[in-house]
Amino acid sequence: MKILIFSASTGGGHKRAAAAIESKIKSLSPETDVAVVDAMKAIGKLFDDVVCGGYRFMATKTPKFYGKCYKITDRKTLMYKAVMRSNTLMSERLLKTIEEHDPDIVIICHPFITTMISKLRRQGKINVKAISLITDYAAHRTYIVPNIEAYVLAEPQMAKKLVEEYGVDQSIIYPLGIPVFDKFTSSFDKEKICKNEGLDPNLPTVLLMAGSFGVTAVADFYKNLSEQSKNIQIIVITGKNKKLYDKLNNLINESGCKKSTKLLYFVDNVEDYMHISDLIVTKPGGLTVTESLACKLPLAIYSAFSGQEGDNAEFLTQTGAAVMLDKKGGAGQIIELLSNKEKLGKMKEQCQKLFIPNSAENIFELAKKLCEA
């Protein structure tokens, strides 16, 4: 069996989900031919720059406008029709990639590509089964097109919207969860990790995923948090934001908080820091949320732009796995939450309940089933 997984660089979540599925398939079935392709880049650099660059610009620079567009395109409006029509203009640019890999089935991690595959199948230009993976905790109309064998959802309650609002057949809906790497669910030794990282396993620990926040905002937030409590340790991961890393490094040295803060640039072992933390402060991207849930790590949401992040935040706060931070009083909320062991314990339990294990493995089984059928 040949499997082609289409990812995209509109945020890191689509790529991480695709990579997790690929890794699981290779470990379970080495004989299966599986490949991951960034569909936007395969179509062309200009298209990739426009779509991915446009998404990043709107989400960070004009989040309110992005949120309005997101809501408008979730209804059968003129804007929705225009977006769906424009998504199909580059469909044929995917043909070369599909022909090169000659897959039996494609697993798609982005709605734009789902639309393109649907059009190519409708036109009879490809004959390949298709699974669409929704990598957030709320559905959106742009995912919904004909000629798709299966929709994989992050959680079961999403199915109601697909059926009642979008008219999707219940029989092709599979709430298998968002796939994450096994390392997020593997057993771990907290004391050993803390020793290797120079951290105290007995201190309350906050993980601050700061790379996607504004430089000034996160610096002020960190300063307030470190000043309000000397009895916690803070792990700050800035990702590839060099400007933020340098600003925080100077701030930490000036404030004398070096012993209680571990500042990190880009890391490839984020699961270690999630495992040993009591709370994560983050934006609610679909994959970061799922990785946190896998580690039974309660979330404190620093900010969420209107759109999929806002929907994710609403789902998490309503189910009790997260709290929404006030931008001015957020540091105080965190200190209060860390001191409330009962509430923190209930949030951990909710994280465990919400996480759907073995997602990548079950998606692979679904792909096999569809191909056999």
pLDDT confidence band for 256 (50 / 70 / 90): low
| 185-194: long-range contacts, CB 8 A cutoff, minimum separation 24 | 185/294, 185/295, 185/357, 186/271, 188/272, 188/275, 188/276, 190/275, 190/276, 193/272, 193/275, 193/276, 194/276
- Same domain membership, residue 167 and residue 235: no
Q: State the pLDDT at residue 214.
A: 65
Share of the chain above pLDDT 90, in %: 74
Answer with the residue of higher pLDDT: 231 or 136: 136
Q: What is the DSSP string of 62-74?
A: -HHHHHHHHHHTT
Q: What is the DSSP string of 162-187?
A: HHHTT---GGGEE-------GGGTS-
What is the domain range of residue 240?
183-354
Of 40-54, 250-264, 351-365, minimum mean pLDDT range? 250-264
Q: Please provide the average confidence, as pLDDT, over all residues in the chain.
A: 92
- Same domain membership, residue 294 and residue 274: yes
Q: At residue 37, does pLDDT exceed 80?
A: yes
- Same domain membership, residue 208 and residue 327: yes
- Same domain membership, residue 368 and residue 350: no
Share of the chain above pLDDT 70, in %: 97
pLDDT, mean of residues 300-308? 88
Which of the 8 DSSP states describes residue 325?
P
- Same domain membership, residue 173 and residue 74: yes
Q: State the pLDDT at residue 51.
A: 84
CATH of the domain at 327: 3.40.50.2000
- Same domain membership, residue 317 and residue 228: yes
Of 16-20, 119-123, 185-189, 230-234, minimum mean pLDDT range? 230-234
pLDDT, mean of residues 49-62? 82
First to last CA, the chain: 13
pLDDT, mean of residues 22-50? 93
Side-chain half-sphere exposure of 118, counting CA atoms within 13 A:
23
Q: How many domains does the chain have?
A: 2
* Nearest-angstrom CA–CA distance, 235 and 279: 10
pLDDT confidence band for 90 (50 / 70 / 90): confident
- Same domain membership, residue 118 and residue 19: yes
Amino acid at 52: C
Q: At residue 328, does pLDDT exceed 90?
A: no
- Same domain membership, residue 128 and residue 199: no
Q: State the pLDDT at residue 251.
A: 87
